[in-house]
Amino acid sequence: MDGPPEPISRVPRAQVRRRLLAAAARVFAEHGYAESRLDDVARAAGFTKGAVYSNFGGKQDLFAAVLGDRSVHGFASAAADLERSEAPEDAVAGIARTIARLLTEDTQRGRLGLEFAAHATRHGPTAGAMTRMRRTQRETVTALVTELTERHGVRLTASPETVALALHCLTNGLSMEHLADPEAVDALAIEDTLIATLAGFTARAEHEETP
């Protein structure tokens, strides 16, 4: 006589989310935001479309999560540069170099970000998802700037929030310029621009400390 059926193992929610994000990244990269379908994302991840809605709410939130996930990896790399640095100049150079590398190597993220922003101007729910994503990114950059000042005793000429906003806007602009003219706005140009900007936020403080 056959025994009772084996219980069906339930996939942990964190794993479901990771698989959906990975599948969505592939689908969005191939089809873009507008042409991508949640059915395709769910199928690629091995789940039903209901799993997408239960984890992300909808297409716009899933897309924002994909972009946010890529940003998290970038911020983690920048934080690692900060951990390894012994002087503020080294930290700034390392962070700038990491951002430049990410912007020039992951151009797909820049293109998808532009498409998402354009769609958000015409679609309320997408605008809300983009707003939440951008706020989270700025908060993460603010934390990174604060850690830089505390770890190396750097004095800023503006609040960490203002510096983070400037860097966030500059990074988005540099990403767009690289997409438009990758030969002129290459990794070195991006790195130099970021270093010069960060130096400007600390130059006055350094001058005040000069005897």
Residue 207: its pLDDT value, please? 44
Angle at which helices 107-120 and 13-35 cross, to 10°: 70
Q: What is the 3-state secondary structure (H, E, C) of the chain?
A: CCCCCCCCCCCCHHHHHHHHHHHHHHHHHHHHHHHCCHHHHHHHHCCCHHHHHHHHCCHHHHHHHHHHHHHHHHHHHHHHHHHHCCCHHHHHHHHHHHHHHHHHHCHHHHHHHHHHHHHHCCCHHHHHHHHHHHHHHHHHHHHHHHHHHHHHCCCCCCCHHHHHHHHHHHHHHHHHHHHHCCCCCCHHHHHHHHHHHHHHHHHHHHHHHCC
pLDDT at 7 over 50: no
User: Could you give the domains of the chain?
Assistant: 7-57 (1.10.10.60), 59-209 (1.10.357.10)
The amino acid occupying position 141 is V
The pLDDT of 177-203, averaged and rounded, is 94
Residue closest to 196 by CA, chosen among 211, 10, 188, 151: 188
pLDDT at 189 over 60: yes
- pLDDT interval class at 17 (50, 70, 90): very high
Question: What is the radius of gyration, based on Cα positions, of the chain?
Answer: 21
- Digit-coded pLDDT (tens) for 128-170: 999 999 999 999 999 989 988 888 888 899 999 999 999 999 9
pLDDT at 61 over 50: yes
Q: Taking the model in full, what pTM does it have?
A: 0.79
The pLDDT of 49-53, averaged and rounded, is 94
Q: How many Å apart are CA 119 and CA 24, to the nearest integer?
A: 18
Residue 210: its pLDDT value, please? 47
pLDDT at 9 over 70: no
- pLDDT interval class at 71 (50, 70, 90): confident
Percent share of the chain, pLDDT over 70: 91
Residue 24: its pLDDT value, please? 94
The pLDDT of 99-127, averaged and rounded, is 91
